[in-house]
Structure 1
Amino acid sequence: MEVNYLVWYFLPTAVMVPPLGLPANALVIRLLLGKPGICSTSEIFFLNLALFDMLFCLFFLVEFVLFVCDPTMAASNFVVWGLNQAGGPLLLCLMGLDSYMAVCHPLVFLRLKDPKLRLSACSVVCVVGAVACCLVKFSAKLKWYVISGILCGATAIMTTCNILILRSLRQLGPGRKEVHPVKKRAFKTVLTASVLVNVHYLPPVGEYLLRQFGPSQFKPFSFLTCVAWIALSTASFVQPLCYLVRTGQLPKLRCDRGDGLKRPDPRET
């Protein structure tokens, strides 16, 4: 009976995440691949994050359909959760550290702008994500320790980096009476990222901690587990949408589409 209940726990994610996540991440990937020198900037991390999120949306839908056709506990161990629970947080952690070094230690950041460092870090995250996917399928007990450790550590590092960045951005420069407009925009961006991190990753962190150290009466696949999964999976389309809004690409696409509808055809005149 518990296996049949899992269909309803996974259903909100299957219905909501892939239809929104696939086009949003595909658009982000297309935009980032069109930028010159993408490997030498921090957006290489966001490019890898969009790839992870797109793979998660695609393969989660496939694994959910297979699970509906064969509702067993073995089939309920979706391999793709490793990308969402380990790869995504680690890439966001790297982005937080990169932003912290750029804002708080700019001289050190300039010495660490070698593209090989960012590519190596992304390669390590890909390996960790692949290992997490294997653990999800073949070692359920070890999976909880590894993924909970990654989530807790990444969330703590991201939150700390965001707090330090926000504190640095609020400081006034020498001879200034108000914060520079560029700093104000950066402050809003980092504050939004910090809120999203807490919304998406604190629920699964709390659920994992409760599972490990909470009362024995707490059962897996409870209502709290469902909420934690939904909060974690919605990051796959919220983050690319925020990127499109922040870079001004979403309004631009709307305007281009609207202009295309209003522009008269020369052959009709």
Structure 2
Amino acid sequence: MNTSGASSLSDTKIFTIASTTVNLVLSLPINSYTVWLIATGAGGTLEAELLPLNLAVFEILFCLLSSFRFLTMIFTSVDFLSLFAKAFLWSGRPVLQCCICVEQFLAVVHPVLFLRYKPLRYKMTLSVLTWTVIIGLSLFYTLLSGINFLVYVGECVVLMLVMLFCYFSVLVALKRPGPGQGAKGRRNNVKGRAFLTILVITVSFLGTYFFWCVVILSSLSSWSSHYRKVLTRISTTVTFACGFIQPLLQLRKAGKLSCLKGN
């Protein structure tokens, strides 16, 4: 019985070390390169790409925070930081993804309002507010672990509804003929890029947080620990993989992916 428990614990440690290491080795360079592209103007103007820049910075911070998962295997005193890193991912990525979808929605459906708040000072204010919300939610999920499951599911549902609203609104706008024929092609390109961005982010969100919601709900049910462990590993793998989606979109937009050149 003890041998089985030790083997199970060893398997968990091996998976944690392997998944975190792969994420650090792959995600950290590609997100750092994305930050460099945006900061130097190669990936677009700063005011136009500020939210993707924030998401890339977030992914870098998460990669660094996830290293505390190694330390928890040795020092239990850093367990709080490991929990905070997990909560940071839970709250940060979906909030920033939702903000990007809303921005694309405004650019297509309400262009006048979008241009009014396009200056950098407004987006910097939005960034500060967004990071305040992310840190607040992260602390909430870390400190109040006993009641945060249903709150987290509720957060995911709300953000999912907002993303789906943006998706279908842009889809309708994409099929609607524009008022002017001269700029129709350019306008349709803007709509098409916005639609693709929202579609990819929404699918990424659904794929990632659907599994985590199932994991959370399974922990409240009578599912066996084996199935919960399998679900957790699947969720972790999908979560790490989805961290590459936004950087790949930025690289495609900057023309750095020869196989996926942007229009």
TM normalised by structure 2 equals: 0.77
Q: Distance in 1 between matches of 2:233 and 2:63?
A: 17
Distance 1:221-1:111 versus aligned 2 partners, 3 A rule: same
Aligned equivalent of 1:100, options 73, 98, 105:
105
CA deviation map 1:85-142 (0-9, x unaligned): 1111111111111111111111222233243332222212212222333345433213
Which stretch of structure 1 is more off in the superposition, 155-164 or 20-29?
155-164
Does the Cα contact within 8 Å between 2:24 and 2:63 map onto a contact in 1? yes
In the alignment, is the contact (CA less than 8 A) between 2:104 and 2:198 conserved in 1?
no
Structure 1 distance, partners of 2:113, 2:33, is 33
* Number of aligned residue pairs: 246
Determine the C-alpha separation between the residues in 1 that align with 2:40 and 2:78.
Answer: 43
User: What is the correspondence of 1:40-119 to structure 2 with a 5 Å cutoff?
Assistant: 40-41=47-48, 43-60=49-66, 62-70=67-75, 74=79, 77-119=82-124
Q: Of the candidates 29, 36, 39, which is equivalent to residue 30 of structure 1?
A: 36
Q: CA deviation at 1:197?
A: 2.8
- Checking the alignment, whether the CA contact within 8 Å between 1:82 and 1:136 is kept in structure 2 is yes
Identical aligned residues as a percent: 24
CA-based RMSD = 3.3
Residues 1-20 of structure 1 aligned to structure 2 (within 5 Å): 1=5, 4=10, 6-20=12-26
**Following the alignment from structure 2 to structure 1, what is the Cα–Cα distance between the partners of residues 82 and 11?**
14
Which sections of structure 1, spanning at least 5 residues, go unmatched?
A: 253-269
Equivalent-residue separation in structure 2 for 1:189 and 1:131 (angstroms):
27
Tell whether the 8 Å contact from 1:86 to 1:129 is kept in structure 2 after alignment.
Answer: yes
Report the Cα distance in structure 2 between the residues aligned to 1:222 and 1:73, rounded to whole angstroms: 23
CA distance in 1, matches of 2:165, 2:206: 12
| Alpha-carbon spacing, 1:161–1:126, altered in 2? closer, same or farther (3 Å) | same
Q: Secondary structure at the match of 1:69?
A: coil
Corresponding residue of 1:155: 160
Aligned to 1:149, what secondary structure does the other structure show? helix
Distance 1:87 1:186, change over 3 A: closer
2:132 corresponds to: 127
Compared CA separation, residues 185 and 126, structure 1 to 2 (3 A): closer
> Which one of the candidate residues 230, 233, 237 is aligned to 1:223?
230
1:5-40 Cα shifts (integer Å, max 9, x gaps): 542452442132111110011011111112399553
1:208 aligns with 2:216: yes
User: Is contact 1:29–1:51 with CA below 8 Å preserved after alignment?
Assistant: yes
TM-score where L is the length of structure 1: 0.76
AA paired with 2:25?
P
CA contact (8 A) 1:29 1:50 kept: yes
**1:243 alignment counterpart:** 250
Give distance in 2, aligned partners of 1:102 and 1:210: 39
Counterpart secondary structure, 2:201: helix
> 8 Å contact 2:27–2:63 — kept in the other structure?
yes
Equivalent residues in 2 for 1:130-209, closer than 5 Å: 130-173=135-178, 180=185, 182=189, 183-209=191-217
Q: CA deviation at 1:189?
A: 4.2
For 1:139, the aligned partner's letter is L
Contact 1:57–1:236 (CA<8 Å) still a contact in 2?
Answer: no
Taking a change above 3 Å as real, the CA distance of residues 159 and 3 of structure 1, as seen in their structure-2 partners, is: farther
Change in 2 beyond 3 A, CA 1:76/1:193: closer
Q: Secondary structure at the match of 2:101?
A: helix
